[in-house]
Structure 1
Amino acid sequence: MSVVSSAAAEGFIQRLPKEIRFYLVHGLDEGLAHERVKAIIRSRIGDDTDPMRLVRLEGDAVARDPGALADEAYAISMFGGERAIWIDAQGRDLMPALEPLFARPLTDCTIVVKAGQLKKGTGLRAAFEASAARASIECYPDDSSTLESLIDAEARAAGLTIAPDARAALAHMVGADRRTTRGEIAKLMLYARGRSEITAEDVEAIVADAAPSNLDQVVDDALLGDLPAVEASLSRFFHEGGDADYLMIRLVARLTLLHRLRVEMDQGRPFEAACQALFVKLPMSARRALAKQAERWTTDSLAERLPAIRQASARVRTDTQLADVLATRALWTLAARRRGARR
């Protein structure tokens, strides 16, 4: 099978295997999925948007008339050359249309299906992950390292540099959706045009907080030990389609940051000075929450909990069937253990 993780997707798309004609691009980050679908199609047919070479279909249309997809896929191009079909799944059952194509190889046409979050082992994802002749490409929200690399690349392209604290602040504010992230970065580059460096003040002035606030609320509630609030915010997070893996990534990142802050504070630095030393630049509401958490946890208690939370995060990533349950258990346990931290 060809299962491509979100982290490995960029390299995979740059070197697309010629023998693979079917691609499923799926995940929580709709903007990133859109970007990767375009990259796959560009790799196959270039930037050509001629409707004779690139056909876009909606999931509704494909589900209503499954046979039409085969007619389109096996049609001979009037002018020769590669063709591509882009299907937006829209949650529809596309298997009646795709299964006949899986059984009969395509020679000059590539089919790319874009979908939202899909559970492992079910439906489209199971079908695409069952054969080496197909590829399933995950699209999860960018982690801090990927975000900072993206920010640096966009700044260089605009002929700018970005201060470390500005980069850290921007990475905190964006990341839930690649399209939104690029939009916020583009606004910032336009705002800073004519200068050599982007500062933290620029970020505060122009970038909207595009991060998912309900996700941060879950993390804040758990780290403050507010069990009723954890129950409410977790329920809202999952009801709105929140991803357990992304939640655990955010939790590990927050605990790691808190531990580093506590180390600085144990050396005699007040909270604000510790933030400056670590280039932590956050919106005021996020800074207030972080300050409360730093007051209520000790360096030792954070060091004790971090390995368990990292282990829980790894389990959430690998056990997709129980991911929500495992994440919920980890958040509840963390909130309960907060009582043992310094108040």
Structure 2
Amino acid sequence: MKLSGRDAARFLARPDPGIAGILLYGADAMRVALKRKALVEALVGPKAADEMRLTRLAGADLRRDPAALVDAVKAVGFFPGPRAVLVEDAGEPALAAVKAALEDWAAGDAAIVATAGNLGAGSGLRKAFEAAKTAAAIGVYADPPDRAEVEAALAAAGLAGAGREVTGEIELLARALDPGDFAQFLEKLALYKHGDAGPLVSDDVAAVAPPSGEAEIDEVLMLAADGDARGLARAFRDLGGGSATSVTIAAARYFRTLHAAAAAGDPEAALSRARPPVFGPRRSRMAGQARAFGRERLETALGLVMEAELALRSSRPVPASALVERLLIRIAMLRRG
């Protein structure tokens, strides 16, 4: 069978233990490798290699010895538990061996996990997995992950249950980072939250997100909240390679803090109790911003930030930097009334 979209994401998160074989293929070797790693762990567990329940074969070797795959699939492991045979860089040379193994597969045999590069619709290897009732083929593309894939990645990292707001921030990061960096970010986030029973919040994400010129971004947000449209336009251009995604996430956090301070009635006291607390001249400046905006206009500002986040997360291409600069100028003009 052929799986794509949400069906593929659900299968990769919770693969059918009775599956005979899965083919992962795509032009981006890193993305395929990350999907393969997650799939193998979901099928046979993270300790399968140590317990000799995972066998690795090179696809090129199967042309010379096609029976090796059937032998590995049928072999009885020393340790109890599910088994898998990983065929790396399968390609068309492995086709005969794969077809024989899928046809001979029976319940209790090891699952076949094959990886390959970009395969066209006419590929015999793709057709073998798509045509088999007990096998599946999944194309791994360079498209940014959607909400379902991000939620699955959070669950796999032990971070399930995040609210929509925090998940949206992580989704933006997933679109801005390459797959390897995003996987490292999730690992760091899981370690950061280890032993903390509290819910995942924006400050947790900010604490472990890759650095992206936070001081410069903070000054841009300060200028927007001051109503200095010209100053922030210059400062935004000085960011250079600053990520539009990082600016948007920081803006959401910043204006939520101002909104909470404005709603509390005593902005300075509220900022001193914020998480993290704000002190010194920065607190006085932010308190003045909260008073100048007022609660209603800060709610409008947060609505504009949310619109920008949705635009950045959409599948259609958008001029990200121009979109975020326009967002901040609109907020600055909002402060000036």
Q: Please give the TM-score of this superposition, normalised by the length of structure 2.
A: 0.50
Residue number in structure 1 paired with 2:237: none
Aligned to 1:56: 56
In the alignment, the residues of structure 2 paired with residue 274 and residue 150 of structure 1 have an alpha-carbon distance, to the nearest angstrom, of 27
1-structure distance, mates of 2:321, 2:166: 23
Structure 1 partner of 2:305: 276
Q: Does 1:34 align with 2:33?
A: yes
The residue number in structure 2 matching 1:313 is none
The 3-state SS of whatever aligns with 1:149 is: helix
Q: Which amino acid aligns with 1:122?
A: S
Report what 2:20 is aligned to.
Answer: 21
1:67 partner letter: A
Corresponding residue for residue 121 of structure 2: 120
Alignment of 1:309-328 (within 5 A): none
Q: What are the superposed Cα offsets for residues 267-324 of structure 1, whole Å, 9 maximum, x if unpaired?
A: xxxxx99963524498xxx644547999xxxxxxxxxxxxxxxxxxxxxxxxxxxxxx
RMSD: 4.5
SS of 1:198's equivalent? Answer: helix
Provide closer, same or farther for how the CA distance between residues 189 and 198 of structure 1 changes in structure 2, counting only shifts above 3 A. Answer: farther
Per the alignment, residue 73 of structure 1 pairs with 73
Match of 2:226 in 1: none
CA contact (8 A) 2:189 2:208 kept: yes
* Structure of greater Rg: 2
- Contact 2:2 2:138 (C-alpha < 8 Å) held by counterparts: yes
Contact preservation (8 Å) 1:25, 1:136: yes
Matched, 1:143 2:151: no
2:36 aligned counterpart, secondary structure: helix
| Structure 1 residue identity aligned to 2:173 | L
CA deviation digits over 1:11-55, x for unaligned, max 9?
33525062x312212235545543443454445543422463211
SS in 1 for 2:60: helix
1:235-290 Cα deviation digits (max 9, x unpaired): xxxxxxxxxxxxxxxxxxxxxxxxxxxxxxxxxxxxx99963524498xxx64454
Structure 2 unmatched runs, 5+: 214-300, 313-318, 328-337
Mapping 1:213-228, distance limit 5 Å: none
CA distance in 2, matches of 1:201, 1:79: 43
- The unaligned stretches of length 5 or more in structure 1 are 209-271, 295-343
Paired residue for 1:5?
4
CA offset at residue 184 of structure 1? 3.4
Deviations 1:134-183 (A, max 9, x none): 21123334434246536876898399886688546424413x53x43222
1:166 touches 1:203 (CA, 8 Å); kept in 2? no
Q: Tell me if structure 2 keeps the 8 A contact 1:170–1:203.
A: no
The residue aligned with 1:170 is: 173
Inter-partner Cα distance in structure 1 for 2:8 and 2:36: 11
Mapped partners of 1:3, 1:76: distance in 2: 29
Partners in 2 of 1:79 and 1:144 — Cα distance? 38
Amino acid in structure 1 at the alignment position of 2:22: Y
The residue number in structure 2 matching 1:84 is 84
| One-letter amino acid matched to 1:136 | A
2: CA distance between counterparts of 1:53 and 1:155? 23
- 1:158-307 equivalences in 2 (<5 Å): 166-167=169-170, 169-174=172-177, 176-177=178-179, 179-187=180-188, 197-198=202-203, 206=211, 276=305, 278-280=307-309, 287-290=320-323
Matched AA of 2:113: V
Q: Which amino acid aligns with 2:57?
A: L
* Mapped partners of 1:287, 1:115: distance in 2: 33
The residue number in structure 2 matching 1:244 is: none
Q: Is the 8 A contact 2:89 2:114 kept in 1?
A: yes
Q: Deviations over 1:90-148 (max 9, x none)?
A: 54521122232233234422211022332223121011112213211233344342465
- Whether contact under 8 Å (1:3, 1:129) holds in the other structure is yes
Whether the 8 Å CA contact 2:144–2:175 is kept in 1: the answer is: no
Q: SS at the partner of 1:93?
A: helix
Instruction: Assess, with a 3 A threshold, how the Cα gap between structure 1 residues 30 and 6 changes in structure 2: closer, same or farther.
Output: farther
CA contact (8 A) 1:191 1:206 kept: no
- State how many pairs are aligned: 225
Distance (Å, rounded) in 2 between the aligned partners of 1:51 and 1:57: 17
Secondary structure class of the residue paired with 1:119: coil
Distance 1:109 1:173, change over 3 A: same
Aligned-pair identity (%):
28
* Separation in structure 2 between the aligned mates of residue 278 and residue 155 of structure 1, nearest angstrom: 29
